[in-house]
Structure 1
Amino acid sequence: MPHPVSPPSQEPTMVSKDAPPPPSQETIADFLNTIFTAKTSAASIDACYALCEVLLSSVGVVGLSQYGILAEVKKAAADKKSGLRRESSQNLLGAIFERFLPRQKVSEVVLLLQDGGMVGCALDALADKGAVVRDAAQYGLDTLLVNLSPEALVVGLLPALSNYLSKKTGKWQGTVGAYKLLQKMADKAQLAIGSTKEEAADKDVLREAMGAKLAGLIPIVEGGMHDLKADVEKQAVHTMTSLTTLLSNDDVAPRFPLLIDTMQHPSTQTLQKAIHALSMTTFVAIVTSPVLALLTPFLERSLNNPTTAQEVLRQTVVIVENLTKLVHDPIEARTFLPKLIPGVKGVCDRASLPEVRELAERALATMEKAMGNDKDIVARTSGDDVAQILDEQIKLNSGLAGQLDLYKQARPYISEMVAIDVNYRFVDRISARIAPYLKGFMQDPEAHQKVADAIQQHYVDEDHRRYGVPEKEDDGEIEIVNADFSLAYGGMLLLSHTNLRLLKGHRYGLCGRNGAGKSTLMRSIANGKLEGFPPQDVLRTCYVEHNQGEDADISILEFVAKDPEIATQGRERISEVLAEFGFTPGPEGRQSEKVGSLSGGWKMKLALARAMLQRADVLLLDEPTNHLDVANIAWLENYLKTHPDITSLIVSHDSGFLDNVTTDIYHYEPNKKLACYKGNLAAFVEIRPEAKSYYTLSASNVQFKFPPPGILTGVKSMTRAIIRMSNVSYTYPKATKPSLHEVSCQLTLSSRVAIIGPNGAGKSTLIKLLTGETIPTTGKVEKHPNLRIGYIKQHALEHVEMHLEKTPNQYLQWRYQHGDDREVHMKQTRVLSDADRAQMDKFVDLKDGNPARQIESLVGRQKYKKTFQYEVKWRNLLPKHNSMISRETLTELGFDKLVQEFDDHEASREGLGYRELQPKVISKHFEDLGLDPEIANHNEIGSLSGGQKVKVVIAGAMWNNPHLLVLDEPTNFLDRDSLGGLAVAIRDFKGGVILISHNEEFVGALCSEQWHVRDGRVAQRGNAAVSLDRFEDSRPGSAVASTAASTAANSVVSSAVNSGIEDNSDMKFKAKKKKKMTKKELKEREVRRRLRHIDWLNSPKGTPHPPDTDDEDN
């Protein structure tokens, strides 16, 4: 161990021609004698440093072997009789680690690999009974760890530790020390905030390279977790915990404690718990070799154990399939999946349940596809490949001078380190892995650097050939940001060692798959947590997201003025800017309205107004077009284009907006890098055709398949009105003017209607009136009694927020378990008010000779001429006293909600007549709507992602085969892939569709009819052209879709709304024409009627005579 007066380490040196002559054997022997016989530790340490300096200034590292110094260290370390010699041996070894490793890099080969290396000697000394010996050994090991590069730790120290732990030494203290070193290596690789660029690069290299070795490390550490020595077991658990941090996968991270506990206490029960926990995990992140290395042993044990239950086997093969789908590197798949294939094949052959066998066959097909035989796969660079290039460059640069034996040992060591940098694309580090190690071997003193630079350039060119050449910097542009950083969210690494460069006035679109980390990056910038990004006092940034608008009870002007950064500008200036955004001033103006009363679009405009008042240099816009109407989107586009002093970073699913605004696209690459592409979204798609899903409505990644609507009784024409509003007005409570005024409109089975209008115009109100969510103030809303409506609200997740503890399958069973849709009962037009309950208590006199009675419920319905009549159950009377009353009579008496409720029940029952409320059928329904059946059956809704929850909502709305699909701003909640799948499903749907959306691309591709809402009135415009070329599967220039649904969409030309073919009289639907009865049937009917009449004669006085109608069936 060094002491305070020990000589300082000198600058790195290498043996040169001017070096002093080599010391004699006697000189070295004198040094060793002093080291091992010194009276004090300080004297021994001084001699150790002196010996190191003599060797470094003369023969260098070769002297350690030539003079037998290392052999003497091992001999003294094993001297059981002399504690002084054992201590001195560790002092000398620590001094060698401290002085040789930084100054002669090739000494790593001698100290770590030659003759088994010196690591084992230091680890064994940790078991010494003398504390000073143990301290000296620990100092040496700590020094070794500090002085090795990440590549050297993996290529040199890691194999040494693995070898030590693989053999039984009988010294448990050494085993604990080895596990501690492994733990320190793993901890050293963890991401840390505030690291320098060089430190971050070191961590990235160590994390990637050490993670690739986990397959060999995990069994070694797991063995220690079963050691009989408690200290070894405890340290092995700590080491395994640290090793799991090398897995940058947020999906698996919550399961680490359970998986480690399963390793520590292996049993059938703990394995089943682990498999169950993994089966409940939604895998979305890319699966890499560290994840496979951790999970493969669990899956292998579960598959190969003959006692594994069928349910556990089912879960296991599902996990295998889900993991395999996310393995993007076929080389990694070929490394791990062959271990699982025999087990999955065994399940295919031997599983008793057909469902499990089917899942196993599906998993097997997925695994074979993942391993693939693609010739374009980028192969890994091996150490042998690097060694060949190294030999060639040495020959071209004067060749080797001597010390060939040492070079033979150093050659594979150097080559393996370079291979790590090449494979993980840290090619700028290659020269530093070669030049210091070749110094002293070459005939030309400068040749080592030339060889290193040439090899680095070779692999830089190779990297460019494989992955493309980075964009060159623009000349003449003002650079405001140039940040190198890594970005993590929780335990998941989103971006690794990447660069973000922003130029003044440019507008950057940020594109990537859902979950890539786009919003996380923008929030990190806004919160000042992104490494290398200028602080707020240097570069003012403002983050604008679509869900802003807190403090709902204060006025808009007060809300903006309370911001301390804005308040300094004065209320007049604030009011002027708000007026520019459409917020009119004054007591009656919009600035005086409450924030909570604003629609989604106005809240977004308010957030943009605040950003403008903050005078931001960089605008971070997260889905800025959500809830904005077409006019405001155009205004925003113009604002961004006409302010060249503002730089924008934009995340949006609106491809048209990105196309019109962006000057550059930043894309999340698969290797966790950001790549910048010049031009707008269209230019980006030309370079990267696979990104076409950002630009077109495609169902290639996510497919939705809507069930066909059922038959509507009496409706034989696609243009017959099925729902109608007549002179409807609606005024919100306490509002001074109506939101909608004298609106009349109707829909048919062929309708493809888009409701368009400025924010706050009343579009959602119109939808709520049509669907019965809201009761009109004046006017009436009529619909076909059997009409079924699938309604998805503006805030779609409201549908499932009260059922987070249920699985999607259980939610659907709950919603429809009584034969109708429970959510329909929550509508305002269905919920009984106090007035309705009072109405139910009123006595009804039908003037049929019977006393006035109270209605209890409706229990039946049948056709009556051109309308319906309902069977009424009277309160406190037996069913035989039931009466048949027409729909019109019940409505006049004030029982319209009761009639509506029964109609809903019958309509839902008719729709559900096509459905069986069984888990297997429900699973198929979810699968048709893009949600994996395994997730639908076994994952709670609360654990699902936002996109998956939206699919649950859509599945719930479509379960009873609706005739009319109502969507309130669906594009705000779906990613690009799901949006494409929904658009294709709507296009192919054979029922009516009405939707609200500001997404011009979505509306233009689907809707041939538009209802424009402005100032409380609705203007209807039909026969609009449908842009079918916006679908990826359409023919270029095609104006006619090939599906049945497109015919329905185009038939709006002759719809009731536009052409007047259907009249505007009350909606009545003809009863189905009855078949003429045979003589036998007529005779049987007469017998039934006679028996019914006899029963009536025997009934109590006052019992109404049962009617004889032509519509009765029995």
Structure 2
Amino acid sequence: MLRLMHGHRYGLVGRNGMGKSTLLATLAAGRVPGVPEKLSILHVAQDSADKIAAGSRVEGATALDAVIQSDTQRTELLRRAGELSSGEELDEVYEALEAIDADGAPGRAAAILRGLQFDEGMMAQPVASLSGGWRMRVSIAAALFLRPDVLLLDEPTNHLDLEAVLWLGQHLEGWDDRTLVVVSHDRAFLNQVCTDVIHLENRTLAYYPGTFYTFVAVRDERRERQRRQYEQQEAKRREMELYVQKHLHKGQSLVRDDAQVKQAKKVAKQIERLGTLGQDGKKYKLSYDGPQQAAELPEDEKGLSGFTFPVPERVHAGAAVIQVKEVTFCYPGASRPIFEGLNFNVGLTTRCALLGRNGSGKSTLLKLITGRLAPTEGEVLRSHHLRVATFTQHHMDQLDLTKSPLEHLLEHGRATEPALTPDEVRRRIGRFGMSGHWQTQPIRTLSGGQKSRVAFCKATWSVPHILLLDEPTNHLDMETIDSLIEAVKKFEGGILCVSHDERFLKSVTDEFWVVGEGATGLARLDGSFSDYKKAMLRSLRRK
């Protein structure tokens, strides 16, 4: 049963495929019993980027226009004011416009867009010309501008950089007079924003007051207790099975104890009924005491296992396998270079996070390292036989959803290994925690976390020495992010990553570089990530 309180900010959590997005869509459509008719509910879904482009009321509407036009009440009042010349009705329209501060709407809309990292030039661009990620920001801005009674946000941080995530969290903390429900894989963001957590598991909603980290502590304690109960139950099961085997076998001999045989048959029936329901609707427990609730493994221990990246052979090239020497890069027609006289090395033990504002050059730097872009001046040297793999959030878009993981990866692998066998592909997929029927069913039927495992398997097919990760946690559930963190920590190669996910960065990197800073356009962070985050928050508050 869904239960929401006015002024509370809820984090809706649960594995991919559990129905979180469906629940938000159902609530937004008014199909949840008990929702007041006059309650304004606004849903920013994961596909809202396309809707905002299609929904702009004026052809060629700019990002700023789209946000302002989302207030249909203001638009209608202005239309009526333009049609009326005088009279009492016009006075009422002006009063209504004053009540909603219609004159202040452009300033409020611009402030929200600036918080989401739009500069003045981007605000003036037509929505249709923006990329999907930036259109998604327009959708979020429109929702914040309207301030509905209930705001539903589905993975709002997927298309945001770190500074925009911090601004959004800070902004939503002030929503004490509204109700918020947010789905996000970003634990730090949820912990900052939420006053309560709703856990969706096995089609049941469980409510936890407090921050996200409080929920994690309570949930983990419950799961540990459940795991211990399950282990005790399984030990009892084995004990009972031994009893049955001993005494039923004895019942077939000449010397037998009818009481023991009878008891053994009773115990055997109890074992057979494990997992079935008694008259009270509860599962039979392996106990002599009759039907009780059976202990089960915690839900998180029933799913996919962790995964590991393939281990590359060593490259004999000293400490550095990539050397960036005196590199200057400037896009054609640009007034100034992004990087100038840049020098740094990447080795097999590198664990580096690239930080910086949106548009500062993080993706450009990764492309220079891979060779997709050539330096304007200087050179990028790579060791002989070095293999570099890049994983981005768009890798899942390149999967053939009509094929199974086995079929898709066999076709991909045979492009470079014609003799590749299905058994070898099965083994490679298995390293990413997918075995059995998961390998042979259509990719379109897999959850987001499962698809990401197929995408990671494909991206690392070459067995790379260096992994470049560009927002790898987008569209992943928390359990898959945990598996990714463990895989990256165990990877026997170098790592460079860009991510807005604070926990991911802190878990897998040991040094931070800020793009867009210093004389060369890249500077080592002086201090910890927490110091960097605090400085950004102070800067946002000044704005």
TM-score normalised per structure 1: 0.35
In structure 1, the residue corresponding to 2:7 is in which secondary structure?
A: coil
In structure 2, the residue corresponding to 1:795 is in which secondary structure?
A: helix
Residue matched to 1:580: 111
Which letter maps to 1:997? S
Which letter maps to 2:24? M
Residue matched to 1:563: 70
Residue matched to 1:902: none
Distance, in Å, in 1 between the alignment partners of 2:421 and 2:471 is 31
Distance, in Å, in 2 between the alignment partners of 1:662 and 1:561 is 27
Distance, in Å, in 2 between the alignment partners of 1:814 and 1:728 is 39
Q: Which of 432, 452, 462 is the aligned partner of 1:929? A: 432
Q: Which of 675, 696, 704 is the aligned partner of 2:206? A: 675
Once the two structures are TM-superposed, the CA of residue 589 in structure 1 deviates from its matched residue by 2.7
Which letter maps to 1:633? V
Once the two structures are TM-superposed, the CA of residue 590 in structure 1 deviates from its matched residue by 2.5
Deviations 1:498-554 (A, max 9, x none): 2x222221111112222221111111122222222123xx22122224553332975
Residue matched to 2:219: 688
Residue matched to 1:864: none
Q: Does 1:632 align with 2:164?
A: yes
Q: Does 1:612 align with 2:112?
A: no
Once the two structures are TM-superposed, the CA of residue 658 in structure 1 deviates from its matched residue by 1.7
* Number of aligned positions between the proteins: 422
Deviations 1:580-605 (A, max 9, x none): 13549999633112436656765454
Deviations 1:868-888 (A, max 9, x none): xxxxxxxxxxxxxxxxxxxxx
Could you tell me which runs of 5 or more consecutive residues in structure 1 were left unpaired when the two chains were aligned.
1-497, 821-911, 1028-1114
Q: Does 1:998 align with 2:500?
A: yes
In structure 1, the residue corresponding to 2:158 is in which secondary structure?
A: coil
Which letter maps to 1:948? Q
Once the two structures are TM-superposed, the CA of residue 704 in structure 1 deviates from its matched residue by 0.9
Which letter maps to 1:711? R
Could you tell me which runs of 5 or more consecutive residues in structure 2 were left unpaired when the two chains were aligned.
55-59, 79-101, 225-299, 531-543
Residue matched to 1:1021: 524
Residue matched to 1:409: none
In structure 1, the residue corresponding to 2:310 is in which secondary structure?
A: coil
Residue matched to 1:900: none
Change (3 A) 1:662 1:978: same
Q: Does 1:920 align with 2:423?
A: yes
Once the two structures are TM-superposed, the CA of residue 691 in structure 1 deviates from its matched residue by 7.4
- Whether the aligned pair in 1 keeps the contact of 2:304 and 2:434 (CA below 8 Å) is no
Which letter maps to 1:809? L
Residue matched to 2:260: none
**Matched ranges for 1:578-977 at <5 A:** 578-583=109-114, 589-595=121-127, 602-670=134-202, 672-689=203-220, 702-712=305-315, 714-715=316-317, 717=318, 719-724=319-324, 726-731=326-331, 743-800=342-399, 803-819=400-416, 917-936=420-439, 938-977=440-479
Once the two structures are TM-superposed, the CA of residue 944 in structure 1 deviates from its matched residue by 3.2
Which letter maps to 2:64? L
Distance, in Å, in 1 between the alignment partners of 2:353 and 2:16 is 27
Change (3 A) 1:606 1:1026: closer
- Whether the aligned pair in 2 keeps the contact of 1:566 and 1:613 (CA below 8 Å) is no
Once the two structures are TM-superposed, the CA of residue 750 in structure 1 deviates from its matched residue by 0.9
Distance, in Å, in 1 between the alignment partners of 2:122 and 2:345 is 32
Change (3 A) 1:598 1:763: farther
- Whether the aligned pair in 2 keeps the contact of 1:637 and 1:657 (CA below 8 Å) is yes
Once the two structures are TM-superposed, the CA of residue 992 in structure 1 deviates from its matched residue by 0.5
- Whether the aligned pair in 2 keeps the contact of 1:577 and 1:613 (CA below 8 Å) is yes
Residue matched to 1:112: none
- Whether the aligned pair in 2 keeps the contact of 1:698 and 1:977 (CA below 8 Å) is no
- Backbone CA RMSD of aligned residues: 3.5
Distance, in Å, in 2 between the alignment partners of 1:521 and 1:953 is 27
Change (3 A) 1:734 1:502: farther
- Whether the aligned pair in 1 keeps the contact of 2:49 and 2:132 (CA below 8 Å) is no
Deviations 1:135-165 (A, max 9, x none): xxxxxxxxxxxxxxxxxxxxxxxxxxxxxxx
In structure 1, the residue corresponding to 2:409 is in which secondary structure?
A: helix
Once the two structures are TM-superposed, the CA of residue 734 in structure 1 deviates from its matched residue by 6.5
In structure 1, the residue corresponding to 2:107 is in which secondary structure?
A: helix
Which letter maps to 2:44? V
Deviations 1:10-32 (A, max 9, x none): xxxxxxxxxxxxxxxxxxxxxxx
Once the two structures are TM-superposed, the CA of residue 608 in structure 1 deviates from its matched residue by 2.6
Residue matched to 1:985: 487
Larger gyration radius, structure 1 or structure 2: 1
**Matched ranges for 1:300-449 at <5 A:** none
Which letter maps to 2:174? T
Identity value in percent: 36
Distance, in Å, in 2 between the alignment partners of 1:944 and 1:643 is 36
Once the two structures are TM-superposed, the CA of residue 616 in structure 1 deviates from its matched residue by 1.1
Distance, in Å, in 2 between the alignment partners of 1:741 and 1:678 is 51
Distance, in Å, in 1 between the alignment partners of 2:373 and 2:445 is 32
Once the two structures are TM-superposed, the CA of residue 783 in structure 1 deviates from its matched residue by 1.8
Using CA pairs under 8 Å that are at least 6 residues apart, name the structure with larger relative contact order, 1 or 2. Answer: 2
- Whether the aligned pair in 1 keeps the contact of 2:339 and 2:522 (CA below 8 Å) is no
Which letter maps to 2:41? T
Change (3 A) 1:742 1:811: farther
Which letter maps to 2:220? P
Once the two structures are TM-superposed, the CA of residue 558 in structure 1 deviates from its matched residue by 3.1
Once the two structures are TM-superposed, the CA of residue 622 in structure 1 deviates from its matched residue by 1.2
Kindly indicate which of the two structures has a greater share of residues assigned to helix: 1
- Whether the aligned pair in 2 keeps the contact of 1:557 and 1:591 (CA below 8 Å) is yes
In structure 2, the residue corresponding to 1:502 is in which secondary structure?
A: coil
Distance, in Å, in 2 between the alignment partners of 1:927 and 1:592 is 49
In structure 2, the residue corresponding to 1:666 is in which secondary structure?
A: strand
- Whether the aligned pair in 2 keeps the contact of 1:729 and 1:743 (CA below 8 Å) is no
Which letter maps to 1:544? V
Distance, in Å, in 2 between the alignment partners of 1:791 and 1:587 is 29
- Whether the aligned pair in 2 keeps the contact of 1:624 and 1:652 (CA below 8 Å) is yes
